[in-house]
Structure 1
Amino acid sequence: MICVFLHKTLQVAIKILLLWKLKKEQTLNIIQHTQTIMRGMSSSALILLLTVATIAVVSSCGGSHRYPQELSAVDSICKDSAEVAMSRLQALSAKYDQPSADAYDRNYYLLLKVKAANNAYQPLADSTIFHVLDFFRGTAEKDKLCQSYYYLGKYYIKKNDAPQGLENFQKALDLTDENTPLYFRSCIYNQMGKQFLYQGMYDKALVMYKESYSCDSIQKDSIGMLFGMRDIASLYSFKKDYPKSLAILKQVYRDCKRFNANLLQSSISHSLAVCYDDMDDEKNAKRYLYETLSHLPASIKASVYGLAADIYHKENRMDSVCHYSSLLIEESDIYGKQKAAKYLCQYYLGNSNNAEALFYNNEYKTFSDSINEINAVETVAKMNAVYNFNQKEKEKMQLEIKMKERTLLYSICVSFFLLGMAFFIYRSEKNKKKYLQFKLISENLKRILDDQKSKEAQDADNAVCCRGENSVTSKEACETSGVDSNNDKVISYNCVIVEAIQKRIEEKKNLTAEDWKFIDLNINKAYPGFKEKLYSRCNLKSSDYKICILVKLEFQNSVISILMNRSEPAVSLKRAKLFFKLTQKEGKAKDFNDFIKSL
């Protein structure tokens, strides 16, 4: 039957596998060939083959989707050449950005669009990432889902929703494993560090920045490590811990020179200038400012011009203030423009150029009004973000407490269940053992009872025979046969005792104190003076006297051990000790039995 079942099951598995991969004609030929091979196989070989076939079917059905090479190629350049990746994706839009395209390929294409746009600092403002996340949430594409959560987090950060951003970054982090690229883990930690920093949660931010640095150091990404150290230094600047910030920035500055990282070196020299300016060390601030101006990256122009204007304004060098303020008003955002307008107004007032001073004064008011409006909106947004974040943290803590309580409750329930099961098994085994013991005792008692009744019947027959004969020869025969009027009483009392014990055993109960009193009474009726003879030799314990009774009734050692709830070796040793106690002689358990039977 087993072989037939295995044959049928294996045939079905192979059909499913081959129909999945091959044409019908090829499948039928292979199935027929397989059936011929299976007829000569053993059951163990069939089981092995069935296991392999099942694994193959599961693998073929549940494997990951194979994406087009052109999309994988774009993915490989998203990190270092985001603009090129965006142009290639634009060229592929007619093929993949269509509802008719394969769902996996289309959503991978959309994810790459989001990824490339973020890496090019041009994040998409539409809901693309939501659709991508919804799709990959229902698939086995763990890496794609991880990236979707990360870019959804960046989407929320762009919308000033820090709690939602952090929540999605955490989900992305939870999905990472040993196969996740370290640079991507570093990005997640870095983004979380920034959000904690902006929320004023410096300790958590420091932990995240250090984790990001650790990922970069493991993959030996020197530039990433330098950026990580820069972020840690900026954290200490926020905390007003300038000595630590300076120490880290100087180390990064030296490493930048060693690695010829000129752009990063300019950024670090600017950070050093800002740090010294905050410490009112204008000499060193100007030193690093000049170095930054000599190799000025476009990304930090506005910040550098603003710093230069601040430093020269403190030194009252208004011509230099005017120069850098004029550059700042062209390059900066509204905040820089406000500062530049203020400085230019002061410059032209000092030079008695009232027209220009009035113009820049009006510009300053316009920029200030715009900033006030922006600040009002941002203040509300930040207050809401902080409130939402605190609420989220509070809810998270409450949820963690509930989860801990639930886990503890489940643990207690499982522990009690396991203990109950263990106790049930123990009791079952004990009852089973006890049942077998009682069954053994019952069988022995039945045998003893049968022997006693047989002796009683035989003695009765002999007594009748003796009373029917008057010759001398008959009397001598009766005396020789051992017929004694007292023997009938002994057997009768013994039968009563054994029947009482057997009845209790059949009820699956131990002997009670009342049972032992009944046994004591009848054993002394069968053997008058039995108890007095024993106690005249020494004072016995109750348990010792019970052993003497059971031996007198000719119970086996195994039966005595069960009735006394002791092991057989313990009963044998006790009998030997009782022999010495009663006779003051060394002896064995057998000697004790002979002594008790002689009383």
Structure 2
Amino acid sequence: MKAKEEKENITELVDYYEHRGDRTLLPTTYYYAGRIYAETQNAPQALDYFQKANDALKQGEDTDLRSRIYSQMGYLFHYQEVYDEALKMFTAAYQCNKATNDTIAMIYDLRDISTEYEAKDNHDKAFEYLKKAYCMAKQYNDKYMIGNIESYMSSLYEIQHEPDSAFKYLQKKLNNTGVTDSSSTYSLIIDIHKLKGNKDSVLYYCKKIEHVGNVYAKKHAYRQMTEIYLERNNHTEANRCFKMYKIYSDSVKAIKRTDIIARMNAMYNYQAKEKENIMLQENNNRIIIIIIFVSIITCILLITLILYVKYSKIKSKKQMLHYEYSKRILNDSLKRTEEHINKNKDKIKELQSKLNSIDKENIELRKELEREKERLLSSNIITKIGIKERAAAHEAIMNSPIYQAFYRMADNTSDLHPSNKDWANLEKLINREYDNFTNKLNSLCKLSVIEYRVSMLVKLKFKPKRISNLICCSEPNISTIRSRLYFKTFRKKGGCSKWDEFISSL
């Protein structure tokens, strides 16, 4: 209810400054509108407002506000895994803060730039920028900032399988770990000691997590404890820890599913608002697409768990690789977004605790902590950008001349049929709007010309009757082709509807 009131209030405020109020305040108004929509998990609307805020600022005007805009847009792009765009945003934010000599903001910008290079698997660049941030933090002599950067350094070294270096940067924070940051810190030290082969230390910190960790940390800890106790033939403790692991695994799974559905609903609400003039049938189709998408994600999560438990029983290695590749196409961005959301929640709690404890007179530190909190809040709402892009791509295709030509030719009263040039133009259009659609499809299985054309028309949501008219083939044969493609790709029966769902997700 509070979120709804905030949206209504900010919408009225934007309307006021757009039409009647002091327009010099419009960039700031757009910025806070973006924050509100980001906090309510409406990423597309948030990005629109952040872009409007940036466009409304004049050259050289309010560099501090512009840097915050760039930073928040960078986080949104990062969690959609559009790393090149995120890197551009964080670099632009750094240049703004460098111009005003805002040292604190520059440190966080360098850290964020490092994160993007790490996401792009450019470890050398990631270390280069993080070390710059570390040097600046030490010169500034702020213990909180130094500790923050050291945590990132430790995590980078752990990813690089350099446990000694990772432990070096985490040791100071480990000695001062509070309740608010214990989960992330203890989880990282467990992984470091596991790399070093210190199983007693792994058990020590796992037991600490039993008392103070969140559900994600406890799931991780109980899994490690189960493995160690099994190795030591302590079956009583191994059985206890495995039962606890299953409990917390189910809890994490429930949380993730709730978050997915909440973000899907937010995206649907935004699309409905932007396209309120579209026919009722089209709106119903969007709802069906959203339900199918949620079902696919839920099935993938369940299948992933089954594969983990019964991995040794899989007979065909080639079949598993096929499955893993198709799963990665659908689910890759979700994994990282959830991991970062979980980490950010711990950091937000830590920041709020510090905000509650510092003096009101310490304006500079409070301002920095608030800024970091805003960045973290904004970073937790990005997974739905991909859905918005696919919706925009489909709308662009529907308005294209080649799509409309195919739609007319699909009418059973038409005597016209697509030429080879028409099919080539349609393929170019699809690959332009849906990046690498053809390559992704061909990497999964070898398609005939007819199979490929049927798949293109399925991607464009043509009904079976219209597909049969365009392919010059009966409807039953079209259904057979789709069912055969599903079996050819996944080596199991799924029916034509299963193939349609998969093609829609590419």
Whose radius of gyration is greater, 1 or 2? Answer: 1
